[in-house]
Structure 1
Amino acid sequence: MKPGQTQTLTISEQISSGFILRDENGEKAFIQKVFADDSWEIGGEVKVFVYQEEGNLKATTEKANAEIGEFAVMTSVQSLPSGAFMDWGIIKDLFIPYKQQKSKIIEGKRYLVYVYIDETTGLITGTTKFKRNPQYENLPFKNGDKVDLIVMNESELGWNVVINKQYIGLIYASDVFKKLYPLSEESGYIKTIREDGKIDVTLQPQGFENVDEFKQKIIDKLNDNYGLLYLSDKSSPEEIKDALHMSKKNFKKAIGSLYKDKVIEILDDKIRLL
């Protein structure tokens, strides 16, 4: 049995309040009747999330916000001197001990939380304390991969982000072309996996092969402005960033391609939709 993870278990017994599930080693977990449906039968297999409650293993068909080894944004539902309980997305709240809080958690507020198994207690635990830009090995990414991001915080170099709920990376300030907010969700791209195992991320695809995304953004902006956009290859990077949330390099690639396709006309101080 793997507490804190989604797994497939076998229905071994039905009781008045629910079902007993077993894994291949015979370990048991209880699931309430409310989470079952009419198709469940003894010997069948079900996909469930396993959690701990008062020393027992229980299961639910609900989806947890984060499993072991993952980050998620959670809301505090109760804050006590000993720790805080977070909305985990399932029937059970996640506990964060006071010593695992970067700053005191306030009830009703949202926090970025990492879920792990405490080595001392063996219990599923949350923490708001984690390393910034840690070093990784054997990453499942390559440069250019599209990823999901959770924005963490701004630093001297740029913005720290969580990648695909599991890894911490960095967006350099020079690669930020839109307003970012802590705990917001964004799409991004792996820019570089460095030799030291740290991950650099960008909000925009790299390379000419990804120019279609920028072309469409420019066309949409032109359509919103009656076919005129007062930007050109002579515009400053700041003007382009404010208007289109893209770099001047990507802007020039995109308008060059649109001009070649006879979609736009490039004038001294503007571009025009043909």
Structure 2
Amino acid sequence: MQLGKTQTLKISEKNNSGLMLSDESGETAFLSKVFVHEEKEIGDEIDVFVYQDDHKLKATTEIPLAEVGEFAVMSCVQSLPSGAFMDWGIIKDLFIPYKQQKTKIIEGKRYLVYLYVDEILNLITGTTKFKRNPQYEDLPLQKGDKVDLIIMNESELGWNVVVNKKYIGLIYTSDVYKKLYPLSEEEGFIKAIREDGKIDVSLQPEGFENIDEFKQKILNKLEENFGLLHLSDQSSPDEIRDELQMSKKNFKKALGGLYKDKIVEILEDKIKLV
């Protein structure tokens, strides 16, 4: 039985309270009838998430915000001296011991939480303490991959981010072209997997193959401003970032393409639709 994971189990028993589910080894978890929305028979398979309640294995068809080995943003539903209980999207709350709290967790507030199995207690546990920019091996990621990001915090180098709920990466300050907020979600792209196993991330795709996206952004902004935009090749990176949320490099590539296609006219201090 994979504790803290979604898996396919087989129905081995039925009663008025629910279903007993088994894996190939014969280990069992109980699924309450409140989660059974259609008639099931012994031998049928069902996809469930396995967790613990009162030291017993239980199952649910609910989808948790995160599984063991993943990060998620969760709200605190109760804070006690011994620890905090977090809403993680299923019937049972996730417990974060006081010693696993980077700062004291306050009821009603949201936090970035990582799930693991406590090796001593064999319990699914949460923590708000995790390494910054850890080194990874055999990452299932490649340069250019589109990824989901959770914004963590700003650092001296840029912004730490969670990549696809599982890995910690970094967006360098030079690659930040929009206002970022801790715990917000963004779309990103793998910029590099470094030799030391660290992950560099960008908010925008790189290369000419993605230039159409930037061209469309410029056109949209021109249309919003009645065909005129007070930006040019001479504009500063900050001016371009504030107006279009893209780098000067990508701006110049896209602008050159629009000019070549005779869609825009480039003047000394502005551009306009032809």
CA RMSD of aligned residues (A): 0.8
Which one is further off, 62-71 or 210-219? 210-219
Provide the residue aligned with 1:236 in structure 2.
236
Question: What residue number does 1:130 align with?
Answer: 130
Are residues 1:161 and 2:161 paired? yes
Give the number of aligned pairs: 274
Report what 1:194 is aligned to.
194
- The 5 Å alignment of 1:38-117 reads 38-117=38-117
Q: Distance in 1 between matches of 2:24 and 2:260?
A: 62
Distance 2:210 2:13 in 1: 54
**CA shift at 1:266, angstroms?**
1.4
Q: Cα offset for 1:74?
A: 0.2
| TM-score (structure 1 length as normaliser) | 0.98
Unmatched tracts of structure 1, length 5 or more: none
C-alpha distance in 1, partners of 2:152/2:244?
24
**TM-score with structure 2 setting the length:** 0.98
**Aligned partner of 2:95: which letter?**
F
* Cα deviation 1:31-84 (Å, max 9, x = unaligned): 111101224222111100000011110000000000010000000000000000
Question: Could you say what secondary structure the match of 2:129 adopts?
Answer: coil
Cα deviation, 1:135-190, whole Å, max 9, x if unaligned, reads 00001111111100000000011100000000000001111010000000000111
Aligned to 1:222, the other structure's residue is in SS state: helix
Q: Report what 1:179 is aligned to.
A: 179
Instruction: Specify the alignment match of 2:141 in structure 1.
Output: 141
Q: Distance in 1 between matches of 2:100 and 2:205?
A: 36
Aligned counterpart, 1:272? 272
* Percent of pairs with identical residues: 74
**Counterpart in 1 of 2:151?**
151
Structure 1: which 4+ aligned runs deviate by more than 4 Å? none
The one-letter code of the counterpart of 2:238 is E
In 2, distance between residues paired with 1:224 and 1:116?
A: 48
Residue identity in the other structure for 1:201: V
Partners of 1:220 and 1:25 in 2: how far apart? 58
Unpaired segments of 5 or more residues in structure 2?
Answer: none
The answer for the alignment partner of 2:218 in structure 1 is 218
Q: Secondary structure at the match of 2:95?
A: strand
Mean Cα deviation higher: 257-266 or 140-149 = 257-266
Give the whole-Å Cα distance in 2 for the aligned partners of 1:4 and 1:152: 23
